[in-house]
Amino acid sequence: HVADFVRKYHELHVQFQQPKYPKTVQFGLKCPGVFYRANDVHFYKKYFPDTKFIIGLRHPVSWFESFYNYQSHRNVSLPK
């Protein structure tokens, strides 16, 4: 959850905003779930107001192939 992310990384985020670090120091999170849960965007707005989101789109067949391989690797039962 983003709440856990905020608790864990907010201090680090503030630390990197200090003048002793160059402005090029950045970190991020790759998690599409932030757009599935309404409250998550609120956390970003409150704790990381300068956040820039990068959205990538994949071809649906490529996405499904990757999803299938990931789930089968985890031994998740897939519908037939």
- Chain segment 9-67, per-residue pLDDT in tens: 777 766 666 555 565 656 677 777 777 777 777 887 887 788 888 888 889 999 899 98
User: Position 34: which residue type?
Assistant: V
pLDDT at 17: 64
DSSP 8-state symbol, 77: P
pLDDT at 53: 81
CA within 13 Å, CB half, 70: 6
Residue 77 above 70 pLDDT?
A: yes
The string of DSSP codes covering 26-69 is ------GGGGTSHHHHHHHHHH-TT---------HHHHHHHHHH
pTM recorded for the entire structure: 0.43
Residue 74 above 80 pLDDT?
A: yes
Give every CB contact of residue 76 below 8 A, 6+ residues apart in sequence: none
pLDDT at 26: 64
